[in-house]
Chains A and B, each alone.
Chain A
Amino acid sequence: MPFMKGREPIRRTLKYLNAGKLVLKDKVRIFSVNYNTYGEHHAGAREFVFWNIPQVQFKNPQVQVLTLKNMTPSPFVRCYFEDGRDMLIDIDGKGHDDIIDHLVKVVGKTREQLDAEARLAESKDNPANFGYGCDRHCICEIPGQIACPGTVPLPEKMRGKFLFAPK
């Protein structure tokens, strides 16, 4: 898909996708939405599918996200858990903001849990870190970064010898 083409291309921007509020619990394996393409009480479900499904899938790459069209009289979301149970969430006549808020409360991770996981991921797995206990000892090990001046002299424009040399 070309950049900024099509219907509401903002839905495909990284910023929008990352702004998704719904991070599903680890137990959720399948997330399915049933809705119709017509009908007043399906409007919220349609909006939800249009605006929020990309975010949900982006934030939960391990979850299968399904949308089933025109198979139901009233729209609903169904989440299947890893232990075989499932949860049916009625979204009849609700706006997509209400739906996402409720889903965050019911099948989403809490804010504290997300914060803790972010800290955990950042402190251990951040590939940008370097030094003791990290993947690399020095940033100079990355191709394209400046080598350590002890090994290779710095570029001349960074050295005072040349910067402040009389012309």
Chain B
Amino acid sequence: MLRAGCQLLGQASVAKTGSNNFALEFVRWRRKPRWLPVAKSKLFRVPERKKQTEEERTELMRLHNQYKTQLRSVRQYLREEVIRYEETSTADHIVLTPEQEEAEFQRCLDENAAWNAAIAKEREIRLAKERDEKVVYVQERLEAKKLRDEERLERANARVLHEIEQSKTFITRENLDAAIETALANPVDHNFAIDMGGNLYYGRNATQFPQETTNEPPQQALSN
């Protein structure tokens, strides 16, 4: 960009090869340096505004609007992304202040108290019902026991009366001799066979039995 010398300013901007000029530089862009003032001849020149047709103006406006809209939406998206990232990278937004936490806890306590009260009411009803059922049950059992005891007493009484009745025929020390006499006088012979028709067959006379046993060996007697 730098010029080799002022002499180049007046020359054409074409590359010069084979020149005898020393320190020649290839100049592609020529411009007046920034530090030089406006030329005297151009000092009071007012550039003419370009005329735009109506079509061109509307078209440019459309493009402009489109560009602005797109840029705005991108900017908004980036802003939201930053917010989203901040939300997920710190715990600030889910951590409650102590007051909020306390209020939340109180709300939970109240809710739980309501729940407990409802259950307590239900339980009261259930317990009352169970109590009534228990009373009825105990009453039934008591009555059943009473009945059972009465029956038992009755049975015992009957038994006692029966025993008393029986005791009239008991053999006691006083009537022992009379009983022995009676037994001897009326021997009972159980030594008989019986058939399916219920007929009894006496094989021998029981009164002869003791005499036979004395004559025979005990084994034979047992085998009979």
Contacts and interface: CB of A to CB of B under 8 A. Distances in A.
A107 B88 CA distance: 24
Interface residues of A, number: 24
Contacts of B105: 27
Interface in B72-95: 85, 87-91, 93-94
Given A106-B111, A124-B89, A116 B94 contact: yes
Contacts of B116: 88-90
B111 A105 contact: yes
Given A87-B109, A105-B111, A92 B122 contact: yes
B108 interface: yes
Interface in A126-144: none
B93 A93 contact: no
Given A87-B109, A93-B122, A116-B93, 9 more contacts: A90-B116, A91-B119, A92-B122, A93-B123, A106-B108, A120-B90, A120-B91, A123-B85, A124-B88
A92 B130 CA distance: 15
B126 interface: yes
B126 A116 contact: no
Per DSSP, chain A at the interface is: helix
B120 interface: yes
Contacts of A117: 91, 94
B87 A116 contact: yes
B44 interface: no
A94 interface: yes
7 contacts: A87-B108, A87-B112, A88-B112, A93-B123, A116-B93, A117-B94, A119-B88
B110 to A, nearest CB: 10
A74 interface: yes
A93 B112 CA distance: 16
A122 B87 CA distance: 12
A87 B108 CA distance: 9
A41 to B, nearest CB: 7
Nearest to B111: A106
B95 to A, nearest CB: 10
Contact of B115 (A90, A113, A116, A122): A90
Among all A-B residue pairs, the 8 with the closest Cβ atoms = A123-B88, A90-B119, A116-B94, A90-B116, A119-B88, A106-B108, A106-B112, A92-B123
A88 B113 CA distance: 9
A110 to B, nearest CB: 9
